[in-house]
Amino acid sequence: MKKNASEAVKVTVGYKKKWAENVSIEIVTSEQDFDSLEVSWSQLCEASECSIFQTFEWNRTWWKYFGNSNSLHLVILKREGEMIAIFPLFRDSVEVLGHSFYTALRFLGSNVSQPQKANMLGLISYTDYLDGIIKKGEAGFAYELIVPYLAGIFPQMDEIILDVIPEQSAFWMHALPLIHKEFSRVHIIDQEPSQLIVCSSSWQDYLTRLNKNRRYKAKTALRKIHGAGSERIFQVRSPKSEDEFIKMWNQFVDLHQKKWNKLGSIGTFYERSNLQFHQDISLQFFKKGWAQIYALSPIQDENELLAMDLNYMFKGRMYGAHTVTNTDSEYYKEGPGTALFFETLLNAIEQNFTSYDFLRGSEAYKYAVSDLTFRNRTVHLKSNRRLQQLLYDLFINQEKLRRTFHRKAAGIRLRLKHSIGIIFSF
């Protein structure tokens, strides 16, 4: 039996409130209690349809580098003592002169608009597919509990922001109708879409799905890796140990930053917090068999890196996390990036992955090879505190302008540094 929204206010830190005879909601706010959830969180992931971005490892590591003290707000739903859902949230507050004038509740991973992270210049979150982690078959019941809970604590908030929820989430069927009943100001904003390749049972089956032109490109690209005689010009390797992974990860970062700095961009790994986060989580995933790097080189010299891919693997899906191609190489005209992509996809099919996920992004090459495109949307639940919302909008807009200015200035400096380095290299 569901309690009404006002009763949800009674749920306080460290208190388990009975919603029905066998149901309780627990709020976790300390890092120590967060750490204690690792086993049960992982078990829930195995029993749910969650993505790799909803694992304990990703969320705990994100919090380590981007979280703020005293703002953690993990909502745990239990029935008869069994965990059936986790909604990993935190309080994101804006402070001026030590006083908070705006507070939002949002998912861990949505570090886009945290103004207190003044040293962060990025404008997008590197966490995809945010959502609750819900045991299979329990989505309807879980949302019947969480929506009234959110409505109950809403008076303490200026906004609740539910970022980057994919369209295949049960949220849209079960939660959204309840949200419209409980909240008067609901705004839904489209984010960048995601593209997906459905893996075939074999590489040959995959090729038969392609049109003639795309099939020719795939075969030609792979002959440059697996062909005989003069056809073979590339080799691909991947790390077999932690030391090899760390070495190749650092090479990947160097190549990635060099490419984007040359174009006047700071690159993904410019900021120390982002660099440390990605390094930490990638190594954790590698140790669990959830990450792999593929490096493509000419057959004459494996130390010359032409293209590199970093991929995550979880529950039958391969995620194309990051990729880079060396545009300065004389081999660039041979299409090393294309060759490595089809080699990675070949490995995904041979390892029986069900799909290859490009994640968010609107690049043309993704649309060209993908089978499915799906939307990601963010839901804003706004309070009637119009003045706070106006102040926040002004604050965050100037914050975005500040970050954009400093990001572009840093990009110009890096581009000049790259150009000067080329001049002095002659």
Reported as a single tens digit per residue, the pLDDT across 311-325 is 999 999 999 999 999
The mean per-residue pLDDT over the stretch 79-86 comes to: 93
Task: Provide the pLDDT for residue 2.
Answer: 33
- pLDDT band with cut points at 50, 70 and 90 for residue 111: low
Q: Is the predicted pLDDT of residue 85 greater than 60, yes or no?
A: yes
Q: Could you tell me which CATH number the domain at 195-374 has?
A: 3.40.630.30
The mean per-residue pLDDT over the stretch 389-400 comes to: 76
- pLDDT band with cut points at 50, 70 and 90 for residue 3: very low
Encoded tokens for 239: 């790390």
Backbone angles phi, psi at 165, to 5 degrees: -90, 120
Q: What tens digit of pLDDT does each residue of 6-50 get?
A: 333 334 333 344 456 688 999 999 999 999 999 999 999 999 999
> Do the two domains 5-191+376-385 and 195-374 of this chain adopt the same fold?
yes
The mean per-residue pLDDT over the stretch 392-419 comes to: 75
- pLDDT band with cut points at 50, 70 and 90 for residue 117: low
Task: Provide the pLDDT for residue 292.
Answer: 97
For the chain, what is the mean pLDDT? 88
Pairwise CA distance, residues 318 & 52, whole Å: 10
Task: Provide the pLDDT for residue 115.
Answer: 52
Task: Provide the pLDDT for residue 412.
Answer: 80
* Whole-structure pTM value: 0.89
Percentage, residues of the chain above pLDDT 70: 89
Beta carbons of 109 and 125 less than 8 angstroms apart:
yes
Task: Provide the pLDDT for residue 120.
Answer: 62
Q: Could you tell me which CATH number the domain at 5-191+376-385 has?
A: 3.40.630.30
The mean per-residue pLDDT over the stretch 102-123 comes to: 71
Lowest mean pLDDT among 7-11, 72-76, 88-92, 360-364: 7-11
Encoded tokens for 181: 């009943």
Strand order in the sheet with 291-298: 234-237, 291-298, 307-314, 317-325, 355-360, 194-198, 372-374
Pairwise CA distance, residues 374 & 399, whole Å: 30
- pLDDT band with cut points at 50, 70 and 90 for residue 264: confident
The mean per-residue pLDDT over the stretch 74-83 comes to: 93
Q: What tens digit of pLDDT does each residue of 118-171 get?
A: 566 565 667 899 999 999 999 999 999 999 999 999 998 889 999 999 999 999
Best-predicted range by mean pLDDT among 117-131, 191-205, 383-397? 191-205
Encoded tokens for 219: 């075969």
Sequence ranges of the domains in the chain: 5-191+376-385, 195-374
The mean per-residue pLDDT over the stretch 214-233 comes to: 95
Task: Provide the pLDDT for residue 389.
Answer: 76
The mean per-residue pLDDT over the stretch 325-345 comes to: 96
More confident residue, 75 or 388: 75
Lowest mean pLDDT among 53-62, 107-116, 148-157, 233-242: 107-116
Beta carbons of 314 and 52 less than 8 angstroms apart:
yes
Q: Is the predicted pLDDT of residue 395 greater than 50, yes or no?
A: yes
- pLDDT band with cut points at 50, 70 and 90 for residue 310: very high
Pairwise CA distance, residues 111 & 104, whole Å: 12
The mean per-residue pLDDT over the stretch 327-348 comes to: 96
